[in-house]
Structure 1
Amino acid sequence: MAPPRKHSTDVILDAARTLVLTDGPRAASVAAIAEASGAPVGTLYHRFGNRNGVLTAAWLRALERFQERAIAAGEQTDPVEAGVAMARASIEFATELPDDAMLLLNLRPSDLLDGGPDADFRTRLDTMNAPLVARIRWIAAELLGADGERELDAISRAVIDLPYAALRRHAHAPKLPGWLADDLTATARTLLTSYRR
């Protein structure tokens, strides 16, 4: 059995995320992340390879946390309720993990990384997104009778674009309005119900 890691990966990624959100991506150097997290520079290089590795891991961790909630919410058998639950999950994610939400809302991987994302990153991102895309595809097929480009776009407006726009509007508020999840849920339900064949 391997000994426990002395410096928690989550502490390191939290420090990187905080530096990026507070001072911008350029502030998140390996030395700055090491200082903020208390982990030695060598630990960061050993665990993540380089600065890009740390920031990629922080961004992908935020995405994974969001997707876990969205996919679990969308497991309902009724397509309208599945879509509504996925839309609501976005607001709940931002309420529970506001720093992760800010990272995903405000920064693309290309904003964070020196040289931009590589092929391995894109492959991993496609793999991570596949279950969410599959669920949106299922909702489209159930409600609209097809899962082509137009149908996927229609479902994405209700399930992805509405929550994203609402969160962007309130991104710099100290706290999300308590009514936002209920209002968004009602709007998503109205739109998705209108799609029923």
Structure 2
Amino acid sequence: MAPPRKHDTDVILDAARTLVLRDGPRAAGVAAIAEASGAPVGTLYHRFGNRNGVLTAAWIRALERFQSGVLAAAETEDPLEAAVGMTVAGVAFGREHLDDARLLLDLRPSDLLDGPDKEFQDRLAAMNAPLIEQLRRIAAGIYGADGPRELDAVARAIVDLPYAALRRHARAETLPDWLEADIAAAARTLLTS
């Protein structure tokens, strides 16, 4: 049995995320992340390989947190309720993990990394596949088809609406209490009009 890790991965990733959000991606070098997290430089190289590995792990962790809530909300059979739930879950993610939401809102992988590699692109495509499958299911259930126009209509509600709301409020200390209710009503209106 391996000994427990001395330096918690989440602490390291939180430190990297904080550096990126506060000072920009170039400020998040391995030495700076090590200093901010309290983990030795060697630990970061051993666990993540290099700077790209740490920043990739921080970005992927944020995306996984987002997707887990959104996909859980999609599990209801009614396509309209699944869509509304996914939309609200996107905002709830921002409420629960505001710094992760800021990371995903502010930075694309190409902003963070020195050239995302094919392995990263393949992983991202695999992570997004279940979401795209749900968008297709919802489009077919609400509109009777999952063509480009129907998918675009569903994406406006499930993707664009919470993204815009989170972007608007991401710099506040907390999100407004009423945001989920307003987003749910707006999504329902978009999808049924």
- Work out whether the TM-score is over 0.5: yes
2:70, 2:120 → 1: CA distance?
Answer: 21
User: What does residue 163 of structure 1 align with?
Assistant: 162
1:168, 1:5 → 2: CA distance?
Answer: 36
2:69, 2:26 → 1: CA distance?
Answer: 30
1:150 offset after TM fit, Å? 1.6
User: What does residue 90 of structure 1 align with?
Assistant: 90
Give the unaligned 5+ runs of structure 2.
none
Query: Is 1:34 paired with 2:34?
Result: yes
Give the unaligned 5+ runs of structure 1.
none
1:20 offset after TM fit, Å? 0.4
User: What does residue 7 of structure 1 align with?
Assistant: 7
Q: What amino acid is aligned across from residue 147 of structure 1 in structure 2?
A: D
1-10 or 92-101: bigger deviation: 1-10
Q: Percent identity?
A: 73
| Deviation >3 Å, runs of 4+ | none
1:18 offset after TM fit, Å? 0.5
95-104 or 167-176: bigger deviation: 167-176
- For normalisation by structure 2, the TM-score amounts to 0.98
- For normalisation by structure 1, the TM-score amounts to 0.96
Q: What amino acid is aligned across from residue 156 of structure 1 in structure 2?
A: A
RMSD after superposition: 0.8
User: What does residue 145 of structure 1 align with?
Assistant: 144
User: What does residue 121 of structure 2 align with?
Assistant: 122
1:168, 1:57 → 2: CA distance?
Answer: 22
Q: What amino acid is aligned across from residue 144 of structure 1 in structure 2?
A: Y
In the comparison of the two structures, how many residue pairs are matched?
Answer: 193
Q: What amino acid is aligned across from residue 90 of structure 2 in structure 1?
A: S
Q: What amino acid is aligned across from residue 126 of structure 1 in structure 2?
A: A
1:139, 1:95 → 2: CA distance?
Answer: 25
Query: Is 1:131 paired with 2:143?
Result: no
Deviations 1:22-81, CA, capped at 9 Å, x for gaps: 111111000000001111101101111100000000000000000000000111110000
1:54, 1:3 → 2: CA distance?
Answer: 22
